[in-house]
Structures are given as structure tokens and as C-alpha cells.
Amino acid sequence: MEMREIRSFVLLAETGSIQEAAERTHLSPAAVHKHLKTLEHEFDAQLYAKHQGRLLLTDAGKILLPFMKEILRHKESASIALKEWRDSDSGLVRVGAGPTFSTYLLPALLRRYRRRFPRVEVFIETGTGDHLLERLRSGHLDLAFDLAVTARDDDAVEPVALWQAPLGFISGRPEIPIHCRLRDLAKAPFILYQQGSHIERLIARYLDQLNFRPTVVMRSDSAEAIKAMLRAGLGVSVLFLWNITSDVRSRALSAIRTEAPPLVSQMALVKLRTSYTPEAVSRFIELARRMDWKNLHPASAPGMALIHQA
């Protein structure tokens, strides 16, 4: 069994196509097909089968897949370790973050990191939390920023840095005062996150605990889209405070204060639970732990409750 055969198998699992796996490995489809047949012969099991035009893993293939991914991760870690041994000032850090986090918070951390370690290559990928965690698990990323509650639900990853992340009721409607009672918002049109997302479930639990049932008129999977709708005066939402700092400063949006206890979540920087962390990644983690962004402050207690009294 060779690394190229393992890589072909993992790519087949990701793409469901020998042709696509071949394109990503810069090999011919015939070469990838040969790699797969070699593995089937070695393990004496059918590893994939055709279903509705795609190639899907059999039960045997599904059992084998996590082991093959682990071999690739160890091989990559070994290559990085040797590269760092040859040149301790270089390296690679691959970081995933949501579009909003990448826009408002990540640049300050990257500026500090690049200033201190200019020879380290930094790769940034944006996407949803689920997508980034899958990229992390598959070895395509070293680190990812996500809600801490998401990371705690995943045994494959571990938080290496935590921050308190307060959320609040946000409005662009001038008739809504910045100080009001929660019941005064009952008839206001709310624009919330798309149902099923981690942030939507977090907010839904908070509103349930307050026994508050908002009038939801729109939903979106984008914080920036929600902000644009709020600036147009279309409603009220619940957003991270770090996301609306500049809008509040310019008075385009207002943070509404009510008698309700604030919602305080946690953001986390997470990595795979692996035995080896490259030096360039370790340096990034250490620098990230010292970041104290506006409305996003380092937290040392991993079991912090989601809702705190003001």
C-alpha cells in the first residue's frame, strides 16, 4: 500500500468520481482506478460501488476511510516537521473562519502574526462552520474559528483558545428606542439567521429562556445581509456586538438595551486532536490567545454558561 493509493481512495470518497479524483491528483483516470483496485485486492474487500451515477463507499470502504485519512495527516505532519527542522523560521498555517469573522476580526491577528513571522505562509479559507470543521477533519485546514458549543459537540477537534462573544438586539428603525422593555419588541419585525444553523439554535434557546416569541418576517444565512436589511429599516435582529461596532459608531444601527439578561456565547479557535502541532501553527495559537478584540475578550473557563446576568 502506497501513499498515492491512499490519496486516490480518500479523494474518491470526497468526490464520488474517479475522473474528479484524477483531476485533483493530476493523474489519469486509469491510474486512479488501478490504485483503487490495488487497495481492494490488498484488503480483500469491495471498497466502492456505483449508485445513481456516483461512486459511493461500501460499508467496508466507510470503515477504512478514517484510517486512510489519518495516515495522510501523519504523513503531512511528518513533512511539515522535517521542513521546520530544516528552516525554523518558515512554515505554513491554514486557517478557516466565517466571512464576517474574516472581515472584522481576523485581519488584526494576521497583521500581528505576519509582522512577527514574515516567512510563514498563511492560507485563509472562508465558509460556514460545518464546512470549515469538515475541512479541518479532512486535513485541509490546521485551525478554524467557530462557536465553542459547536467544537464541544465534535470529539475530533479541541478548542485551543476561547473568547467571550456577547450578542444583542440590534435595530435600524428610528422609532425603536435604545432603552425599552422586551415586550415592546414583541410586534417589531425580526430578521433572524437561517433555521438549522448553530447560531440560529443558540439564539432560539436564548429567546425561549426569555419566553419571548419574536415576529420573524425574514431569515438569512449571512450576517452582512441581515445588517443591510436592518440599515434599510426593515426590522430588528440578534447579532454579535463585534459585528456592528462601526455601524453603531456611525449611528446606522442601534444596540437596544432591555431588562433581559444579555446573551454571551463563546468563540473558539479549534484544531484536530492530533499528537503533533507544527511550530508555525503553535505560534499562531499563542498569538491568538492574547488577542483582545473589541466585544470579544479572552476566556479561560471552557465551561462558561451561555447566558449571563448583566
The string of pLDDT tens digits covering residues 20-57 is 888 888 889 899 889 889 988 888 889 889 888 888 88
Q: 158 lies in a domain?
A: yes
At residue 22, the pLDDT reads 87
Residue showing cell 490519496: 7
Confidence of residue 273 (pLDDT cuts 50, 70, 90): confident
Q: 174 lies in a domain?
A: yes
Higher per-residue confidence, 163 vs 308: 163
Asked if 14 and 68 sit in the same domain, the reply is yes
pLDDT > 90? residue 241: yes
Cβ atoms of residues 271 and 154 within 8 Å: no
DSSP assignment letter at 26: T
Higher per-residue confidence, 258 vs 153: 258
CA 17 and chain centroid, separation: 27
Report the DSSP beta bridge partners of residue 216: 190
Asked if 121 and 142 sit in the same domain, the reply is yes
Q: 140 lies in a domain?
A: yes
Cell, residue 28:
489519469
CATH at residue 237: 3.40.190.290
* Least reliable range by pLDDT among 15-19, 147-151, 198-202, 286-290: 147-151
Confidence of residue 84 (pLDDT cuts 50, 70, 90): low
* Least reliable range by pLDDT among 72-76, 145-149, 291-295: 72-76
Asked if 66 and 42 sit in the same domain, the reply is yes
Asked if 110 and 249 sit in the same domain, the reply is no
**Could you say which of 76, 106, 123 is where a domain stops?**
76
Q: 145 lies in a domain?
A: yes
Domain with 25, as residue range(s), is: 3-76
Cβ atoms of residues 98 and 242 within 8 Å: no
At residue 275, the pLDDT reads 64
Query: How confident is the model over 162-212, as pLDDT tens digits?
Result: 999 999 999 999 899 999 999 999 989 999 999 888 899 999 999 999 999
Cβ atoms of residues 32 and 12 within 8 Å: yes
Q: Give the chain's mean pLDDT.
A: 87
Instruction: Enumerate residues 6+ apart whose C-beta is below 8 A from 307.
Output: 206, 209, 261, 262, 263, 264
Cα separation, 23 vs 29, whole angstroms = 8
Question: Which backbone phi and psi does 106 adopt, to 5 degrees?
Answer: -60, -35
pLDDT > 70? residue 86: no
| Number of domains within the chain | 3
Higher per-residue confidence, 163 vs 273: 163
At residue 89, the pLDDT reads 64
Cell, residue 225:
445581509
CATH at residue 156: 3.40.190.10
Question: Which backbone phi and psi does 44 adopt, to 5 degrees?
Answer: 55, 50
Confidence of residue 87 (pLDDT cuts 50, 70, 90): low
Q: 189 lies in a domain?
A: yes
Asked if 93 and 234 sit in the same domain, the reply is no
Query: How confident is the model over 101-144, as pLDDT tens digits?
Result: 999 999 999 999 999 999 899 999 999 888 899 899 888 899 99
pLDDT > 60? residue 306: no
Confidence of residue 226 (pLDDT cuts 50, 70, 90): very high
